[in-house]
Amino acid sequence: MEKKKITEIVTSTVCSLVETLPAEQKFIVDQNTILFGTGSKIDSLSLVSIIVDLEGVFSSDYGIDISLTDDRAMMRKKSPFDSITALVDYIEELTLEN
């Protein structure tokens, strides 16, 4: 799957979450949006929701089964959840293996 398409899917998923937030908590989503850790504007429950939604979209819409929270993801030096860019890179890596 092309990186551009993965970026669209991830960005759209995060934007969908942002739309559910109260007006004072909404933020602009771009490739540098921090998903986890210092500077993140979403809580851990929202991150879990994004992960579940992404795994579902890739499975149901594209027939690609990925697990974003396996040991491999958790053991990386740079977390795939640092930013949208990091998550897109990780998903691209996973899709290339399928």
* Calpha distance 11→9 (Å, rounded): 6
Is 0.85 topped by the overall pTM? yes
Say how many domains are in the chain.
Answer: 1
Structural domain including 60 reads 3-97
Domain CATH code at residue 16: 1.10.1200
Q: How far is CA 51 from CA 13, 23, 24, 68, 96, in A?
A: 9, 23, 24, 7, 19
Write the pLDDT tens digit of every residue in 29-85.
Answer: 999 999 998 999 999 999 999 999 999 999 999 999 999 998 888 888 889 999 999
* Calpha distance 26→23 (Å, rounded): 5
